[in-house]
Amino acid sequence: MEQLYTQWKPILSSGGDLSFWQEFFVKFYQAFIEGDRWLQYIKGVGTTLYVTAMALILGVILGVIVAVVRTAHDQQRPGHHNPILGVINAIFKVYVTVIRGTPMMVQLLIMGFVIFASSKNFSLVGGLTLGINSGAYVSEIIRGGLMAVDGGQMEAGRSLGMNYADTMRFVVIPQAIKAILPALGNEFIVLLKDTSLISVIGGKELLYAARGVVSRTYEAMYPFLGTAFIYLVLVMAFTWLLGKLERRLRQSDRR
């Protein structure tokens, strides 16, 4: 293969005549195989997955906390308003407003070049930013899910003498999660693809690897098409996993 490549490459660059398949071979080889470039893509995918996982975990933790606090605040009995809950609720509201009101790219630039300007761990800063961003959206999805659970479920739990937290944990939250899984899945897919933005602060993820190859070979098509293909495969794998989870959670709907 290497022989064919070294034989055909000069013909292509001098504008000589190559068949479609010969040209495909040369450009493909150059984009993915020459100089073990595929290793760069693999490393990029690794960073992409690492940043996604970090952002996902952080986003879910933040999202659940913000959603539960805001819901608990809204569900207080009249005359039983907890001032601490009120303050935390106000802070969380500002958080959601600011994150949803500013572009992801701007948040990344601020985190990367202002707040953590001295940090060289770009993946960490990227994952942190994406997680904080995702948390705001996830919290709204979860809040919607919590509100959509029939109020009778909470009332039944409380009428049995269970406290608010236990009823939330064992009855309301599991039902909310099941209802919002498709919306959460969507959010996670967006998150996975948004990791491509961290290249603006120097994060060495998949798209960064592809751009590196483009700048060295002056050939854009194959690296970028390959990148698109890899994202597609990742998203499809993710969707498949979510589908499995959904089917497991749906067992209580069996009739």
Partner 1 sequence: MIDVKDLHKSFGDTEVLKGINEHVNRGEKVVVIGPSGSGKSTFLRCLNLLETPTSGEIIFDGVSMTDPKTDINKMRQKMGMVFQHFNLFNNLNIMDNMTLAPVRTKLMTKAQAQEEAIMLLKRVGLEDKAYAYPAQLSGGQKQRIAIVRGLAMHPEVMLFDEPTSALDPEMVGEVLEVMRKLADDGMTMVVVTHEMGFAREVANRVLFMDAGEVIEQGTPEEIFGNPQNPRTQSFLSKVL
Rule CB under 8 A: which residues touch partner 1?
A: 77-80, 150, 152-153, 155-163, 166, 170-171, 174-175, 178, 251-255
Measured from the CB atom, is 127 or 157 closer to partner 1? 157
Measured from the CB atom, is 173 or 189 closer to partner 1? 173
Measured from the CB atom, is 179 or 235 closer to partner 1? 179
Measured from the CB atom, is 183 or 249 closer to partner 1? 249
**Residue 232 corresponds to which tokens in the numbers above?**
């597609």
Q: How far is the CB of 164 from partner 1 (least distance, A)?
A: 9
Measured from the CB atom, is 89 or 175 closer to partner 1? 175
Q: How far is the CB of 157 from partner 1 (least distance, A)?
A: 7
Q: How far is the CB of 81 from partner 1 (least distance, A)?
A: 12
Measured from the CB atom, is 190 or 246 closer to partner 1? 246
Q: How far is the CB of 36 from partner 1 (least distance, A)?
A: 51
11: exposed, middle or buried (C-beta count within 10 Å: 0-12, 13-18, 19+)? middle
Q: How far is the CB of 98 from partner 1 (least distance, A)?
A: 33
Closest residue by Cα to residue 196 from 227, 238, 225: 227
Q: How far is the CB of 56 from partner 1 (least distance, A)?
A: 23
